[in-house]
Amino acid sequence: MSGALCIDFGTSSIRVVRRMPNFSRVVLEIGRQNKSTLDSVSIQSAIHIDTDCKYIRYGERAVSARKLSADCALYEASPKLWLGQPEKLSIPVLQGMRLSREDVLTGLLANGLAAAVRVMDIGERTLRALELRVAHPVWPAAVNSGACAALGRMLNKAKRMAFDGDWTTVTANKLKDALPTEIIWDERAGLVLEPIAAAVELLPSTDNVRRVCLLVDVGAGTTDIGLFEGVAPDSNSSVRQKLYLMGQPVSLFKAGDYLDSLVLEEFTWQKSTLSQAQLSDLRFDIRRLKETIFTVGYAQAVGARVSQNDVSSSVGANEFVLEIRASIQALINNEKSRISSYLGASVNRMDALEIVMSGGGASIPFLCEALEKPFTLGELKLPVRLIDSSNVGAPNLYGATRERLAVALGGASEQYELCQHQRPELRTIRRGSY
């Protein structure tokens, strides 16, 4: 086996990590390769189609083209969300165009993969030998099989397109011609669940025998939540830790993009007389404005000033917090007897639910504060502890954060395969039993 390649095909940006044959992992500088303004390991997921529907631009090129002029047939900052409506993937991306939504999304994936191939400086044979994986959220049951099938098709096509030259700007004709009509299915091209991959990377692995941990990944399109039991193996074992899923992870389709809409509401509430052009520019800039609000405390645009407090005290922010807490509480309720037994255990007693945040929204203050409050366990209070994942053991992250790279790192690691998804029996752990 020549190793693996995990693509975190994020709603706002794409990251890629390679696992080498010796199991070390290498974060690929695809951002530097594509002159990304985000960081040197991420490419934006944006798509731009010009007014003539002749050129399709991806990533940074899409963002620059939109910045230059608002005149375009399509600008989409979060196109991955199209996968959430698999029945619409085959419709033309724009009326009259021969390309479907799925075709255009496949070009976006090919652009990420082509950048990774250039960074790795490998040929087609080596890429074919790599086990390719792409991460996805927990889609609602009704769309899961359609969305997974589409992502599988896209991955297999993108693999064949990655060597067809530059994908940052392509003509619609070139994309149409390059899309393989017949898919050579690669059995080893696999899908990885985002909350599990992030948990494998970030959840603590040592210094305690047993812990119950919650992973909350606040991305752009989804907030992915998973509850896990971590069991540190004893010294006779070769694995770093065993991670058991407690219940099914969930993805709320409310995250950074939803906060963008709340920020937009605040601006338009303060300035209700904006022209269509001003509104369109404000929409384009809203992700950056929100990030400024949560790092600096406020942002100014179109003559209005929105503060962090304006956003976090809004009705929408409160709804967001309530939905996240309700999803977590439901996961806890499903594991009530198990967690109760760990809290009351005479050895290896658990004292709190440990929470690790990841994704671009990992340090949003009002979310962190909301998660620091205890949950309930029947009649009892379940204390929580927010913990930071340390960078110990991480490969070179080229200045990016581990929270942001967790999905790609975890998805590429051998731990992802070792991670046992079935729940263990309630039993006493003896030396040598793992």
Ligand X SMILES: Nc1ncnc2c1ncn2[C@@H]1O[C@H](COP(=O)(O)OP(=O)(O)OP(=O)(O)O)[C@@H](O)[C@H]1O
Q: Which residues bind Mg ion (CB under 5 A)?
A: 10, 219
* Cβ distance to Mg ion smaller for residue 10 or 112: 10
* Binding region for ligand X (CB under 6 A): 10-13, 80, 219-222, 255-257, 287, 290-291, 294-295, 359-361, 364, 404
348 binding partner (options Mg ion, ligand X, none; Cβ < 5 to 8 Å by kind): none
Q: How far is the CB of 327 from Mg ion (least distance, A)?
A: 17
Q: How far is the CB of 291 from Mg ion (least distance, A)?
A: 15
| Residue 242 identity (one-letter amino acid) | K
Q: How far is the CB of 191 from ligand X (least distance, A)?
A: 14
* Cβ distance to ligand X smaller for residue 110 or 127: 110
221 binding partner (options ligand X, Mg ion, none; Cβ < 5 to 8 Å by kind): ligand X
Measure the CA–CA gap between 290 and 298, rounded to whole angstroms: 8
* Cβ distance to ligand X smaller for residue 19 or 290: 290
Q: How far is the CB of 407 from ligand X (least distance, A)?
A: 7
Give the number of C-alpha atoms closer than 13 A to the C-alpha of residue 55, restricted to the C-beta side.
14
* Cβ distance to Mg ion smaller for residue 178 or 252: 252
* Cβ distance to Mg ion smaller for residue 186 or 323: 323
* Cβ distance to ligand X smaller for residue 112 or 230: 112
24 binding partner (options ligand X, Mg ion, none; Cβ < 5 to 8 Å by kind): none
Phi, psi of 201 (to 5 degrees): -80, -40
DSSP 204-270: --SS-SEEEEEEEEE-SS-EEEEEEEEE---TT--SS-EEEE-S--EEES-SHHHHHHHHHHHHHHH
Decide if 44 contacts 36 (C-beta within 8 A).
yes
**Exposure b/e, 304-335, CB count within 10 A at least 16 = b:** bebebebbbebebbeebbeebeebbeebbeeb
Decide if 27 contacts 41 (C-beta within 8 A).
yes
| DSSP conformational letter for 425 | P
Q: How far is the CB of 404 from Mg ion (least distance, A)?
A: 8
Decide if 408 contacts 397 (C-beta within 8 A).
no
Q: How far is the CB of 80 from Mg ion (least distance, A)?
A: 9
